[in-house]
Amino acid sequence: MCGRFALITPPPRLARYFQATLGEGVEAAPHPSWNVAPTDQVLGVVARHTPADGGLSRTLRPYRWGLIPSWAKDPAAGSRLFNARGETVATKASFRSAFRSHRIIVPADGFYEWHKQNSGRKQPHYFTRADGAPLAMAGISEWWRDRNGPADAPPIYSCSIITTTASQDMEGIHDRMPVILNPGTFDVWLDPDIDDIGELTALVRAAPAGTIVHHPVSPRVGNVRNNDADLVASV
């Protein structure tokens, strides 16, 4: 699973890396964060066809982490749907519509995972790309509006991170990891017109061995109230 991550790189730099423009509300988003948790605001890269030439244009915009299905009665459902299992994301009722037509990339500088030791103690580890580039985690998104609220109330845009069976890079730490996309797959993943389930699920796989590296960090990361650079320091 992926239940905590760090988002430190400034949005303008992320936008350049993902060849995206900054969307409305990005500059006002809380930033940076060394301890992003479910229901926090995160950033996502989304692509839409431009009216002029029909080409794809990418935008970096804010989302609430924890997908709220469009049919949900209230936003509380999102607090449980912050991860979507790759094995069922195309078929599970909460995710299948978003997987087919609302795919995004969730950028991160690194993510945390806990290793349960023989003593019963859980040691957190911080994972980053070995090449130092931002992580491009495969995500899905939805928008939700309160049917009982004011007609002009803005919708909530929310997202979930897709996970898969872990690669060798996670060996001995955890058996799940986020799906990490390589730049060569960005266009296919983000294209809203591609709805071939076989083509899309082929991208929902563990990154090749050697993609990510990790080191142990302080247990302080387990408390969401702790949010400082020392959380990612090796211990």
Residue 174 near residue 95, CB atoms below 8 Å = no
| Per-residue three-class SS string for 99-143 | HHHCEEEEEECEEEEEEECCCCCEEEEEEEECCCCCEEEEEEEEE
The catalytically annotated residue of 24, 27, 113, 142 is 113
Q: How far apart are alpha carbons 86 and 56 in whole angstroms?
A: 25
214/129 Cα distance (integer angstroms): 9
Query: Which of 2, 24, 159, 171 does the annotation list as catalytic?
Result: 2
Is 2 among the catalytic positions? yes
- The tokens describing 54, both together, are 């029909």
- Residue 113 catalytic? yes
Catalytically annotated residues: 2, 113
